[in-house]
Amino acid sequence: MRSDVQLKQFEIADQDALLSFLRIAFPGEPPKGDSTFWKWHFLENPYVSPDDIPVWIVRSGEKIVGQVAAIPVELKVGEENRRAFWLVDYILLPEYRPGGLGIFLFQMGGGQCKTLLSLGYNENSSAVMRLLKWQPLGSINRYHMLLFPGHAASEIARLPLLRKLVNLLYAPYRASLRPRAPTEDGLLREVTTFDASFDELWSDAATQWPCAVVRNAKMLEWQFMRQPGKKYDVLGCYKDNRLSGYIVLFFRKTGVDGAPPKAAISDLCYGPNNSAEVIDNLLQGALRLALERKAGSLVIDILDERVEAHLRRFGFRRIKASPLFAAKTAAQQDLIYERSNWFLTRSDSDVSIFEESNL
């Protein structure tokens, strides 16, 4: 390792230098160097302690030249819950990459937790992960549905007459997507806060999957209600006033005709009772909202055979571009290293966190 650098865990005194580094390292991603967003991401996470912030940095003199960060989560594995890290934002300035410094940095971050996860990593990260014996688990599946192509394609959207014509020609297909009225298992209501009913839902839902990130009320509130610069739409599915599932949508900032070019289903969760009806009602609610707002397209990242079967019946098409998934653990490898054991959504990756602001 180079003698002119220091590897250490982040301390509050390093914050200004780190934010300066992030603005240089991620010039096309302003939120990463924004102090309000960074504070929410790494200090206000419900699993972060002020004296144990999950960020590790490389210093060269007074400057920070590299970092790896983590999102601490509670992970359900089999019948137990355990602490885990999603590793994110692994980067070194180019001149510091030769010589294996990146491996030491990755090991320092990963050495703080026994179970490590990564979803949406790039080629730079994958080379280091292979050396450190991470287990690749394929990718989360991405499904896409085109709704208003005149709003989805920027080249068309800027030409008013062509935009209207393309949307008009696509109208018969949209008509075939008209959502049905909800069934008796599907009263949908807007959710404005994540209360104890979401903890109760997760307690039931978690029994369906061997491996999943715990979706308790405090984590959902942090991610979808308190995230700076973003507004999420959350629909709860109720029967007899009891929560049976929910869906979270993110609409990009409106463009031409006051319509967003894209909407994403950020998260979806359902209980085990009447799950087919609940999933159908949640997807219908998402589709109804996307059509009302004339969103260009609707996308979802998901790893769950049951939901994926419903998506295909609704007309969603699976596309190739999707975040890669990998894990590293010394315990319960038989469960964690089996891709089919996992329940994952877009909210489990930083794809959701680093969506552009829509406010």
Q: Residue 179's pLDDT band (boundaries 50, 70, 90)?
A: low
* pLDDT for the residue 31: 86
Of 87, 103, 138, which marks where a domain is finished? 138
The tens digit of pLDDT for each residue in 59-111 reads 998 899 999 999 999 999 999 999 999 998 889 998 888 888 888 888 888 88
| Mean pLDDT over each residue of the chain, to the nearest integer | 92
Segment among 10-14, 50-54, 110-114, 285-289 with least mean pLDDT: 110-114
Higher pLDDT, 107 or 208: 208
Residue 329 in any domain: the answer is no
Residue 261 sits in the same domain as residue 238: yes
Quote the strand ranges of 229-358, DSSP E: 232-239, 242-251, 263-270, 297-303, 317-319, 324-329, 342-345
- pLDDT of res. 184: 59
Q: Which helix H or strand E contains 80, and what residues bound it?
A: strand 80-92
Q: Check residue 203 and give its pLDDT.
A: 97
* Strand partners for 161: none
Backbone φ/ψ region at 242: left (φ over 0), alpha (ψ -120 to 50), beta: beta
What pLDDT, in 10s, does the model give residues 142-175? 999 999 999 999 899 999 999 999 999 999 999 8
In this structure, the answer to whether residues 157 and 295 fall within a common structural domain is yes
Structural contact between residues 310 and 141, judged by C-beta atoms closer than 8 angstroms: no
Same-domain pairing of 103 and 153: no
Per the CB < 8 A criterion, the answer to whether 300 and 314 are in contact is no
Q: Please say if the pLDDT value at position 177 is more than 90.
A: no
Say which CATH number the domain at 16 has: 3.40.630.30
Q: What is the share, in percent, of the chain residues with pLDDT greater than 90?
A: 74
pLDDT score at 292? 95
- Residues 297 and 195 reside in one and the same domain: yes
| pLDDT for residue 219 | 97
Q: Which amino acid is at 223?
A: Q
Any idea which of 60-64, 122-126, 209-213 has the lowest mean pLDDT?
A: 122-126
Using the predicted structure, report yes or no on whether residue 123 has a pLDDT greater than 80: no
Residues 147 and 245 in one domain: yes
Of 91, 116, 138, which residue is a domain's last?
138
Q: Give the mean model confidence (pLDDT) for residues 299-319.
A: 96
Nearest-angstrom CA–CA distance, 335 and 327: 11
Please check whether residue 225 lies inside any domain of the structure.
yes
Query: Beta strands 80-92 and 115-119: pairing type?
Result: parallel
Average pLDDT over residues 50-55: 92
C-alpha distance from residue 235 to each of 2, 111, 243, 266, 284 (Å)? 52, 38, 10, 12, 11
User: pLDDT tier at 127 (50, 70, 90 boundaries)?
Assistant: confident
Q: Residue 180: what pLDDT?
A: 66
Q: Give the pLDDT band (50/70/90) at residue 185.
A: low
In terms of residue numbers, what domain contains 24?
6-138
- 109 and 63 in one domain? yes
- Could you give the CA distance from residue 60 to residue 43 in angstroms, rounded to a whole number? 24
| Claim to verify: residue 157 and residue 201 sit in the same structural domain | yes
Total tally of structural domains belonging to the chain: 2
Residue 295 has pLDDT above 70, yes or no: yes
pLDDT, residue 28, reads 85
Same structural domain, 154 and 223: yes
Residues 189 and 85 both lie in one domain: no
Look at the chain and count its residues.
Answer: 359
Asked whether residue 268 is domain-assigned, the answer is yes
Q: Is the pLDDT of residue 222 over 90?
A: yes
Say yes or no: 233 and 116 in one domain: no
Task: Identify the residue with better confidence: 309 or 356.
Answer: 309
Residue with tokens 């929410």: 40
| pLDDT value at residue 183 | 58
Residue 1: band (very low, low, confident or very high) from pLDDT cuts 50, 70, 90:
low
Both 82 and 216 in one domain: the answer is no
